[in-house]
Chain A
Amino acid sequence: MSFTRNARRLAILTTACVAVIATRAPAVELSGYVSFDPRVFPGDPLYADQHEMASLSLSAQPELYAEWADGDQSLLFVPFFRYDQQDSRRTHVDVREAFYLMVGDTWELRAGLQKVFWGVTESQHLVDVINQTDAVEDVDGEDKLGQPSVSLALIHDWGVLDLYLLPGFRERTFPGREGRLRPPLYVDTDLTTYESDTEEWHVDWAARWSHTLGAFDLGVSHFSGTNREPGFAPVVTAGGEPVLAPHYSLIDQTGIDAQAITAGWLWKLEVVNRYGDGDRFAALTGGFEYTFANVRDTGIDIGLLGEYLWDERGEDGTSPLEDDLFVATRVALNDVQDTAILAGVMVDRDTQGASGLVEASRRVGEAWKLSLEARAVFGTDAADPLHAFRQDDTFRIDLARYF
């Protein structure tokens, strides 16, 4: 019932917005991409129902934008579509962004579905807690679902203060029974439970202060509400199937992100302190990025990245990145096609289990882009959460047409 009421409210709001656009009649700008991005899994599947070899896939993300009042007011609408040949759960639709923006001299107001990024590190994003991860898209956690929010940014000499009211929670997406890159048991999102009595309608809030002082960028943030990262309980369904049921707790998380730039070096640190389920713990990511710019006057940039990841909970925590090292290199040819290669490896210091990634991309003509990606897991043992993916080494080809 609350859903239908909210749906009706959303419909009224949308109609009102459309009416505003119609009366002001600003030009609507359309852009975006359509992509053919199949994935290939050379290894045999480990679990029942999982598909073999390849899965063809198509995705699209159009973007509609309109502004008026000299750009001080605007509407942005970015839906996302994914079709996956094998995994019915990976076939999904989302609204990445759909918000109204109003800009004043020292403030910005946004209302709608938003995507917000906080932080500085590359290997994981500890302080970045506003959006839910769209985990069926990729295992890297970089794809996010749109978050219902009203936010106010106050921009002053003493820094930027962002205040967020977050009504409505988005559940994390998970691969289906047929999907690869999943744990041995299928995650049944029909059995999701919440700590909050109001379940997904708990109103969360967040605030962040950020400031740049010369060579330093600093951010301090707090989030209070439903954890975006679920815990899992093994349960048996009415049909007798053992599955995993996601559970979302209420948490309070304070985060600090800091960055310093000295010559070719970028020094990065993210620290969080989280309270939830009667427990308090800290976690951090810290490291550097060094760039050899314009190597031998070829125009090529070579970046080296190193980060250390630590979680106080150790092996008992929900994160597999509790005592890990991340090393990567990024090569940008800076040619007309913007050719770039990224290669990295993450090693667990306890188990020596590792995961690796190679990503290469290049523009083709003026409007096409071709990306190739390979991911693999090496040397894991049963104690390592990544062990579940040992047969799921992945090649991904992505040919996108931008418009």
Chain B
Amino acid sequence: MECRCTRRDTSQSPNPFWMGVVFWGLVMAVGVTLTASGQTPEEKGLAIATEANARDIGWGDMSAELRMILRNRNGDENTRHMSTRALEVADDGDKTLVVFKEPRDVKGTAFLSFSHKTGDDDQWLYLPALKRVKRITSRNKSGPFMASEFAYEDISSQEVEKYTYKWLRDDELDGVDCFVIEQYPVDKGSGYTRQVAWIGKAEYRPWKTDFYDRKESLLKTLTYSGYQQYLDKFWRADVMEMVSHQTKKGTRLEWLGYAFGVGLDEGDFNQNSLKRAR
């Protein structure tokens, strides 16, 4: 069942005859396995990711409080508190503003990010003691966010274009029917070779993701729970739990007070709003 060919370019020739010859030639040569619907596993994987994305279009703007609980290998806990707001941008990545509230010494520090479907994100950090906005490099994708088990790339806006895909199998996870797809980061700066995601068949919600590091060993697992639906359409998990298999450390994200359609616009996501964010 394993297919090692990489058909990452999904754009196709409009010439059906030419396409037919090349396609069947490929099938004969490398033995592409088609799924029941006549798709390759890569096409099916992409279709699942595209559908999951399509179901999350149109949320507009949101705000929420976030509690981050860091747990070390001895079980000692440290709590971080921040507030977040985000704006959906048509045809590009989202705009996000995160304001830190606790620990107290970083209170008022704020992080602004314009994510992009392709290329590096634009990021700024506001340092309240100096009243200074610093441009920061977004190359640090694999580095830890706030000393947590979440990397910057895990918390930045997830866009279909940031990965290529392959459907692996269908599976049942804690009684939920899931597609299991593998996704490969496009960016060379990613800390992962691949991620294996369990996506619920009914609502296309993610339930679990395994992350594999550059040495192909299982690095960490993210699980989602406490899903709630907003605006009768958009599903958000109240709890996201990341566990590192290699360091035995964990991070629990608890989302509180999710609010959609709170009236945010572009003007709430610039360097001026970053400076006065609370």
Assess whether B271 is interfacial by the CB under 8 Å rule: yes
User: What's the least CB distance linking B121 to chain A, in Å?
Assistant: 11
Among A155, A293, A294, A338, point to the contact of B272 (Cβ < 8 A): A155
- Total chain B interface residues with beta-carbon distance under 8 A: 32
Assess whether B140 is interfacial by the CB under 8 Å rule: yes
Q: How far is the CA of A265 from the CA of B122 in the complex (A)?
A: 13
- B-contacting residues, A290-342, CB 8 Å: 291, 293-294, 297, 299, 301, 334-336, 338
- B-contacting residues, A363-389, CB 8 Å: 363, 366-367, 369
- B-contacting residues, A345-377, CB 8 Å: 363, 366-367, 369
User: What's the least CB distance linking A390 to chain B, in Å?
Assistant: 29
- A115 pairs with B131, CB closer than 8 A: yes
Binds B, one of A189-197, A247-255, A256-264, A271-279: A256-264
Given contacts A117-B130, A402-B103, contact A336 B272 (CB under 8 A): no
- B103 pairs with A367, CB closer than 8 A: yes
- B144 pairs with A402, CB closer than 8 A: no
Given contacts A293-B143, A294-B143, contact A160 B135 (CB under 8 A): no
Q: How far is the CA of A101 from the CA of B278 in the complex (A)?
A: 13
Assess whether A108 is interfacial by the CB under 8 Å rule: yes
Assess whether B191 is interfacial by the CB under 8 Å rule: yes
- A366 pairs with B103, CB closer than 8 A: yes
- A294 pairs with B105, CB closer than 8 A: no
Among A266, A336, A369, point to the contact of B72 (Cβ < 8 A): A336
- A294 pairs with B191, CB closer than 8 A: yes
- A363 pairs with B144, CB closer than 8 A: no
- B139 pairs with A367, CB closer than 8 A: no
Assess whether A116 is interfacial by the CB under 8 Å rule: yes
Q: How far is the CA of A73 from the CA of B214 in the complex (A)?
A: 49
Chain B residues in contact with chain A, CB under 8 A?
70, 72, 78-79, 102-107, 120, 122, 130-132, 135, 137, 139-140, 142-144, 147, 191, 213-214, 267, 270-272, 276, 278
| A to B CB contacts below 8 Å, 26 in the list | A31-B107, A33-B105, A105-B267, A108-B272, A115-B131, A117-B132, A120-B135, A214-B122, A261-B135, A263-B120, A264-B137, A265-B137, A291-B139, A293-B139, A293-B140, A294-B140, A294-B143, A297-B191, A297-B214, A299-B147, A334-B147, A338-B106, A366-B102, A366-B103, A366-B104, A402-B104
